[in-house]
Structure 1
C-alpha cells in the first residue's frame, strides 16, 4: 500500500481494511475484539500499544511487513510472523506435552517420590530466574520433568498423588513461562489448562491461584484482557479466606495476582484500576518480611517496585516511570529474568520521551543481564527494532550490533 508518511497507524489500518473489503466488525472479529475497539483505533481515540494486537491486525489484513501499518519503513524489516518465534528446544517440549500416553506403561516403573519431583521443579524454577539463557537451559530439563510428573500422577494415589499433582502443576506453569512467545498457540493453551487442572485436582488453593496467574499471562498476551482480569480476580477471591495463618508463599501468590491485574489494567489504559491493584500488591508486600521472594513469581518488595515502573510505562507516563526507576536498586531482585525485564521497561520509557541514546544504553544492559529474555519478548524486540531505525548516527553501529544479537532483521 502506498500511503502518505503523515498517515497515522489508525488511518493506515482503516485504509487497508477498506481496500480489502472488510467491515469493522469483520476485522475486529479476526483479532478477537469488538467493532467499537477497532473504531477507536482507526480514529485515533485509543492508542494501539499492544504489539501482539498490531501483529494480529497485520496478519488479518494480509500485510507481511509491520512497517506498512506503523509507517516506519525507513529501517529494518518487521516481518509479520505466521507462527511464533522459534527456539531449538521447542520440538522436544512439544513431544513431551502433546504425546502424553493415554494408558499406563506396561513396563514396571521405578517408585516415584513426589517430594523429589517437587524438588526438581523448584530447582528448575530457580534456574529460570538465575540463568541468562533460561529458555535453553530450563527447556532442556522440561521434557523429562513433564513425563516424570505425568507418570507420578498416574502411579500414585491419596495424599502422595495430591502432592504429585501440585508438582505437576508447577512443572506446567514453568513450561508456560519457558515457551512463552515460542510455543504454537495450541500448546500454550494446553499447558496453561493442564497446570490449572492439576492444581484443581489437588484441591490446593495456592496451587490453583498460581495456575490462574499463569493462565492470566496467556489470556493477556493473546489479547483477552477482560478474561485475564476475571481469572486472576477469581483466584484472589478463592485464596483470600485462607491467608490468615497460611504459609508466606500463599500471601506471595495473592500479591502476585494483584500485580498481574495492575499491569493488565494499565495496558488497557485504566489508570485508576491499575494503581488500585498495585496498591493491593504493595500492602501484601508490606505484610511479608522485607527479604521475602516468592519462589516462582518472585513477588516481594522489589517486584512490587519493579511493577510500578511497568504500570507507569504501560500508561505512557514515562516521566513517572523513569523517576520510579531511579529510586530502585535492581540488585536486590534475585531474578535475572525480572531484572532484564525492568531494564526493558526503562528503555521503553526513554523511547517514549525520545531519548534514544539512553534507551540504547539501557537495552544493552537488559541484553547483558538476560539475553534470551530480550530475544524472546516481543516488547523488547520491538524496542530494539525501533532503536535500529531511529538511533542517532553516532549510535547506529551499536544499535545494529544489538539488533543482530537479539535476532531483529536489519536487512
Structure 2
C-alpha cells in the first residue's frame, strides 16, 4: 500500500488492519494485548515503544517489511520475521524435551553430584562463550535426558536434589533457546522448570524458576503476569534470607531487577526505579565480587540494569551517562556485556545519533555474534541502522545487518 508520508505509525496500523477486515480485538489478541491498548496506539494516545510488539503487529498483519508501518526510506527494506529464528541445535533439544517417555528409563544410575557439576559448568559456558547458543545447545539434549532420568529413579534426599538439578537444566534450556524455540516448547520448558523446583521444595530453586518464567511471560507480551510471578517469588524467598547462602540473596536481587525492567518497558518510571533500588540494596549487602552463577546478579549487573531501565523509559541522556561510568570488564558474562552495548546503541538511536549507535553495535557484535544475532532488540537496532544510517555509513551498516541476518532484497 502507498501511504502519505505524514501518516503516523498508529494511523498506518489502523489502515492496514481495516484493509484486511480485522477487528481491533482480533489484531490485539494476536499480539497478546487488549483492544483498548491497540485503540490508543492507533489514535496516537500511546507511543509504540516495544520492538517486539511492533514486530508482532507487523507479523499479524502479514507485512514483510517493517518500514511499511514505521515509514522511512522506501528503497531500503526492514524485514519482518514471520516465524521463529532458526538454530541448528533446536531439533535435538526439541526431541529431548518433547519426546519424554512415560515408562521409567532403563539406564545406568545417575550420580547427582556429578550431574549438578556438569550443569554448573554448562551455565559457566553460557556466560563465557561468544558462541554460547551453539556450544550450550550441543550439550543440552544429554543433560535433559540425564536429569529427567535422575528425577524419576532416585529416592529421598537425592530425589529432591535431582529435581532441583532438573529445574536448573530446564532454566538453562530456556535461556539457550530464547527467541529460537517454538512457542509451545518455550512454555513447556518454563513450566517444567517451575514444577520441578516446587516438587523439590527448594525456595531458591523456585525463585530462580519464577525468574525464568517471568522472562517468557514478558517476552510474549504478558507484562502484568510477569510482574506478578516475580514479585510472588520474591515474597516467598524473603523470609528465608536471614542467614541464607549468598546465592539465595542473589536470586532475590535478580527478581528485583527483572521487575524493574518489566515496569520500565510499560512506562512505569516510579515503580521501575523502586524495584531497581531494591536490587541495588541487595547487591550492597553481598561481597563486592559476588556474581550469581546463572542470573549473574551482582554489582556489575545492577549497574547494567540501570542503563536498561533508563533506555526502556526513553531517558537516553541518563542511560548514556550511566553507561559512561560502567566498567564493562567487571561483568564476567560475555552475553551481558554484549547486551549492554546493545542498550547503549538503543540510547544513541533515541537521540538520533546513528554514527555512535553503529559504532557500539559493531562492538557488541565483536563481543558476541550470537547474542546480537538472536536477540530481538539487537536485531531491531541493526535493521534500523541499515534502513536509516547516513549515506557515508550505509556500507558499514549493511555489513552489520548482513552479519546479523536482518537484510532483505530491496524493492
TM norm structure 1: 0.97
Measured against aligned partners, the alpha-carbon deviations of 1:196-252 in whole angstroms (never above 9, x if no partner) come to: 000000000000000000000000000000000000000000000000010000000
Does residue 258 of structure 2 align to residue 255 of structure 1? no
Counterpart of 1:132?
A: 130
Mapped contact 2:290–2:299 kept (Cα < 8 A): yes
State the distance in 1 between where 2:18 and 2:391 align.
Answer: 38
Range with bigger deviation, 77-86 or 138-147: 77-86
Counterpart of 2:40?
A: 40
Q: Secondary structure at the match of 1:210?
A: helix
Distance 1:291 1:42, change over 3 A: same
Query: 1:80: Cα distance to partner?
Result: 2.9
Aligned-CA RMSD value: 1.1
Q: Secondary structure at the match of 1:82?
A: coil
Counterpart of 1:356?
A: 354
State the distance in 1 between where 2:266 and 2:322 align.
Answer: 21
Query: Please, which of 219, 228, 231 is the counterpart of residue 230 of structure 1?
Result: 228
Does residue 101 of structure 2 align to residue 101 of structure 1? yes
- 5 Å matches for 1:114-129? 114-129=112-127
Counterpart of 1:91?
A: 91
State the distance in 2 between where 1:44 and 1:294 align.
Answer: 42
Does residue 55 of structure 2 align to residue 81 of structure 1? no
Mapped contact 1:400–1:410 kept (Cα < 8 A): no
Counterpart of 1:398?
A: 396
Displacement over 6 Å in runs of 4+? none
Query: 1:410: Cα distance to partner?
Result: 4.0
- 5 Å matches for 1:123-202? 123-202=121-200
Query: 1:287: Cα distance to partner?
Result: 0.5
Mapped contact 2:24–2:38 kept (Cα < 8 A): yes
State the distance in 2 between where 1:125 and 1:70 align.
Answer: 39
Counterpart of 2:363?
A: 365
Query: 1:169: Cα distance to partner?
Result: 0.6
Measured against aligned partners, the alpha-carbon deviations of 1:309-357 in whole angstroms (never above 9, x if no partner) come to: 0000000000000000000001000000000000000000001101111
Query: 1:262: Cα distance to partner?
Result: 0.3
Query: 1:73: Cα distance to partner?
Result: 4.8
Query: 1:74: Cα distance to partner?
Result: 2.9
State the distance in 1 between where 2:118 and 2:75 align.
Answer: 45
Q: Secondary structure at the match of 1:231?
A: helix
Query: 1:39: Cα distance to partner?
Result: 1.3
Counterpart of 2:15?
A: 15
State the distance in 1 between where 2:103 and 2:76 align.
Answer: 50
Query: 1:296: Cα distance to partner?
Result: 0.3
Q: Secondary structure at the match of 2:400?
A: helix
Does residue 261 of structure 2 align to residue 274 of structure 1? no
Q: Could you tell me which runs of 5 or more consecutive residues in structure 1 were left unpaired when the two chains were aligned.
A: none
Range with bigger deviation, 390-399 or 56-65: 56-65
Measured against aligned partners, the alpha-carbon deviations of 1:76-134 in whole angstroms (never above 9, x if no partner) come to: 433333321001111111111001111113x4x22211111111111000000000000
State the distance in 1 between where 2:126 and 2:117 align.
Answer: 14
Mapped contact 2:62–2:82 kept (Cα < 8 A): no
Q: Could you tell me which runs of 5 or more consecutive residues in structure 2 were left unpaired when the two chains were aligned.
A: none
State the distance in 1 between where 2:305 and 2:75 align.
Answer: 31
Mapped contact 1:13–1:42 kept (Cα < 8 A): yes
State the distance in 1 between where 2:27 and 2:121 align.
Answer: 45
Mapped contact 1:76–1:409 kept (Cα < 8 A): no
Range with bigger deviation, 397-406 or 301-310: 397-406
Query: 1:409: Cα distance to partner?
Result: 1.2
Query: 1:45: Cα distance to partner?
Result: 1.7
Counterpart of 2:28?
A: 28
Equivalences, count: 409
State the distance in 2 between where 1:354 and 1:295 align.
Answer: 37
Distance 1:380 1:75, change over 3 A: farther
Range with bigger deviation, 360-369 or 37-46: 37-46
TM norm structure 2: 0.97
Query: 1:17: Cα distance to partner?
Result: 1.6
Query: 1:60: Cα distance to partner?
Result: 2.4
State the distance in 2 between where 1:193 and 1:48 align.
Answer: 30
Query: 1:62: Cα distance to partner?
Result: 2.8
Mapped contact 1:138–1:178 kept (Cα < 8 A): yes
Query: 1:52: Cα distance to partner?
Result: 1.9
Query: 1:25: Cα distance to partner?
Result: 2.4
